[in-house]
Amino acid sequence: MEGISEATSNGQQTSNAQSKIITCKAAVVWAPGEPFILEDVEVEPPHKMEVRIKILFASICHTDLSAWKGENELQRAFPRILGHEAAGVVESVGEGVEDMKEGDHVVPIFNGECGDCAYCHSEKTNLCNKFRVNPFKSVMVGDGRTRFSVVDRRNGERRPVYHFLNTSTFAEYTVVDFACVVKINPEAPLDKMCLLSCGISTGVGAAWNTANVTKGSSVAIFGLGAVGLAVAEGARLRGASQIIGVDINPDKFAKGREMGITDFVNPKECSKPANEIIKEMTKGGVDYSFECTGNLGVLREAFVSTHDGWGFTVVLGIHLSPRLLPLHPMELFDGRRIIGCVFGDFKGKSELPNIVDKCMKGEININLDGFITHELPFAEINRAFQLLEEGKSLRCLLHL
Ligand SMILES: NC(=O)c1ccc[n+]([C@@H]2O[C@H](COP(=O)([O-])OP(=O)(O)OC[C@H]3O[C@@H](n4cnc5c(N)ncnc54)[C@H](O)[C@@H]3O)[C@@H](O)[C@H]2O)c1
Ligand SMILES: *[C@@H]1O[C@H](CO)[C@@H](O)[C@H](O)[C@H]1NC(C)=O
Ligand SMILES: CC(=O)N[C@H]1CO[C@H](CO)[C@@H](O)[C@@H]1O
Ligand SMILES: [Zn+2]
Ligand SMILES: [Zn+2]
């Protein structure tokens, strides 16, 4: 942090009397695919029902990589602060926030939980009517504005910097809606908890909540990044007897073995489609398959790799390109089911604190350390993105 200045009289209504504008470093993307630039940004105090967080750790998820590249034109709000997998400490809270205070340890969640809408009250979904994940949104719900601004070097003018996934964690300080931040046990190590704010919860939850993988069952996981390997962890902890990992990068196999993968398929080295190989390996198909690549062709492979009659496919990969699912309607009569899953079907605010406590007590034995393959200072964020893009890292932990 560079320094805290008095809030300027630019008409912004701030509800927290002590709270001032903070000038700090943030990794700003000015245009799709351009390197991150560590800029001095101004971060407004939290407005009503918002929280300002000091980010201590942030890691990079493939969804950040896709957004950085601007793979979907609708998503192109720049300059922007990306990042959604992080952990930190509450710096200040806006009017009306009662479940958090300065100093609380928190993880942001991109799929919010207001706790008050019909969706939040329903046991059937973890989506929230007001704060559900939406990669196309880039301004706060309260007033439709951003809480970040930066000076544009090209003309010297201050301009707004857009948010991402309700969290924007590649910044020393960020402002999020109360619904998108979870208070956790202060004893929990924040570096590891960072991974629970997206990738690991998503993968583990997909196995536990969405698919409800049962003991002795067979599983195929397409894409062995952090999300896919977290599915493997979830399936292993549920007692799945066969966990087949599918990836075009053979470097993922060694790590996969540690995470419970029992068999590997590299489609690049096979003369027939992965689904045919998997059906042979499992006498007709796996009980559960998980798509964790964001590739449409892979999605189809995952779907037809399951056993007819009861096969269950969970889609985790984000498919941003405007193309439709490659399924023939008649195929649905073969008894295979398919569903997408956001954030492992966990309700973030109500369930994550309990998951954190269970991890600490050893009641849930997720190998969080195994996912942190690299650590770098915040200033090396460009290298961290490169590591993920080249398939060298699972999660690179940035220290802010
Ligand atoms: N649904 C959710 O809530 C949610 C949450 C987090 C991430 N995601 C999405 O999950 C996906 C995985 O994220 P990640 O961070 O683990 O990414 P990652 O880049 O670490 O892993 C992706 C893996 O897929 C493999 N792969 C790519 N193309 C392949 C192909 N054709 N066949 C087989 N394997 C292939 C890569 O080699 C890599 O190992 C991304 O699409 C991400 O956007 C979704
Ligand atoms: C998951 O499966 C187990 C074992 O079959 C069952 O007891 C449990 O009720 C299932 N849970 C859900 C949420 O369906
Ligand atoms: C800052 C930000 O992107 N806020 C969004 C949070 O999510 C809701 C629901 O998708 C959006 O309406 C907000 O714009
Ligand atoms: Zn993510
Ligand atoms: Zn809600």
Catalytic residue chosen out of the listed positions 24, 180, 194, 198: 198
Ligand nearest to the CA of 394: 1
Tokens coding 189: 């190590």
- Size of the chain, expressed as the number of residues it contains: 400
Annotation marks residue 163 as catalytic? no
Burial class (CB in 10 A: 0-12, 13-18, 19+), 141: middle
Annotation marks residue 132 as catalytic? yes
Pocket of ligand 3 (CB under 6 A): 131-132, 134, 137-141, 163, 166
* Geometric angle at alpha carbon 358, from 293 and 55, rounded to 5°: 65
Is ligand 2 within 6 A of the CB of residue 214? Answer: yes
Query: Domain ranges in the chain?
Result: 5-197+367-399, 203-342
For residues 227 and 292, give the distance between their C-alpha atoms in angstroms, rounded to a whole number. Answer: 7
The protein residue whose alpha carbon is closest to atom 12 in ligand 2 is 212
Q: Ligand 1 center to residue 56 CA distance, Å? A: 25
Q: Ligand 3 center to residue 180 CA distance, Å? A: 10
Ligand nearest to the CA of 350: 5
Q: Which amino acid is at 172?
A: E
Is ligand 2 within 6 A of the CB of residue 216? Answer: no
Q: Ligand 5 center to residue 46 CA distance, Å? A: 20
Going by C-beta distance under 8 Å and a sequence separation of 6 or more, which residues neighbour residue 118?
Answer: 129
306 and 327 in contact (C-beta within 8 Å)?
no
Is ligand 1 within 6 A of the CB of residue 85? Answer: no
Ligand nearest to the CA of 301: 1
β pairing state of 242-246 and 218-222:
parallel
Going by C-beta distance under 8 Å and a sequence separation of 6 or more, which residues neighbour residue 38?
Answer: 25, 26, 27, 28, 378, 379, 381
Please report where in the chains the tokens 């809606």 appear, as a residue.
177
Cβ atoms < 10 Å from Cβ of 271: 6
Superfamily holding 203-342: NAD(P)-binding Rossmann-like Domain (3.40.50.720)
Please report where in the chains the tokens 């008050």 appear, as a residue.
116
Please report where in the chains the tokens 């908890």 appear, as a residue.
193
- Residue-level pLDDT at 280: 97
β pairing state of 263-265 and 181-183:
unpaired
The protein residue whose alpha carbon is closest to atom 13 in ligand 3 is 141
For ligand 2, mutation pick of 212, 214, 312, 346 (most atoms within 8 Å of CB): 212
Is ligand 1 within 6 A of the CB of residue 317? Answer: yes
Burial class (CB in 10 A: 0-12, 13-18, 19+), 153: exposed
255 and 394 in contact (C-beta within 8 Å)?
yes
Q: Which atom of ligand 1 is nearest to the CA of 62?
A: 15
- Residue-level pLDDT at 324: 86
Tokens coding 271: 């003369």
- Residue-level pLDDT at 320: 75
Q: Ligand 2 center to residue 212 CA distance, Å? A: 6
For residues 236 and 233, give the distance between their C-alpha atoms in angstroms, rounded to a whole number. Answer: 5
Catalytic residue chosen out of the listed positions 42, 50, 85, 380: 85
Catalytic residue chosen out of the listed positions 169, 341, 395, 396: 395
* Geometric angle at alpha carbon 200, from 132 and 83, rounded to 5°: 55
Spell out the CATH class of 5-197+367-399: alpha beta
User: Each residue's pLDDT tens digit in the chain (400 positions)?
Assistant: 344 444 443 444 444 446 799 999 999 999 999 999 999 999 999 999 999 999 999 999 999 999 999 877 666 789 999 999 999 999 999 999 999 999 999 999 999 999 999 999 999 999 999 999 988 899 999 999 999 999 999 999 999 999 999 999 999 999 999 999 999 999 999 999 999 999 999 999 999 999 999 999 999 999 999 999 999 999 999 999 999 999 999 999 999 998 999 999 999 999 999 999 999 999 999 999 999 999 999 999 999 999 999 999 999 999 877 788 888 889 999 999 999 999 999 999 999 999 999 999 988 899 999 999 999 999 999 999 999 999 999 999 999 9
Q: Which atom of ligand 3 is nearest to the CA of 133?
A: 10
Q: What is the 3-state secondary structure (H, E, C) of the chain?
A: CCEEECCCCCCCCCCCCCCCEEEEEEEEECCCCCCCEEEEEEECCCCCCEEEEEEEEEECCHHHHHHHHCCCHHHCCCCECCCCEEEEEEEEECCCCCCCCCCCEEEECCCCCCCCCHHHHCCCCCCCCCCCCCCCCCCCCCCCCCCEEEEECCCCEEEEEECCCCCCCCECEEEEEHHHEEECCCCCCHHHHHHHCCHHHHHHHHHHHHCCCCCCCEEEEECCCHHHHHHHHHHHHCCCCEEEEECCCCCHHHHHHHCCCCEEECHHHCCCCHHHHHHHHHCCCECEEEECCCCHHHHHHHHHCECCCCCEEEECCCCCCCCCCCCCHHHHHHCCEEEECCHHHCCHHHHHHHHHHHHHHCCCCCCHHHHEEEEEEHHHHHHHHHHHHCCCCCEEEEEC
Q: Ligand 5 center to residue 112 CA distance, Å? A: 7
- Residue-level pLDDT at 233: 96
Question: How many Cα atoms are found within 13 Å in the side-chain-facing hemisphere of 358?
Answer: 10
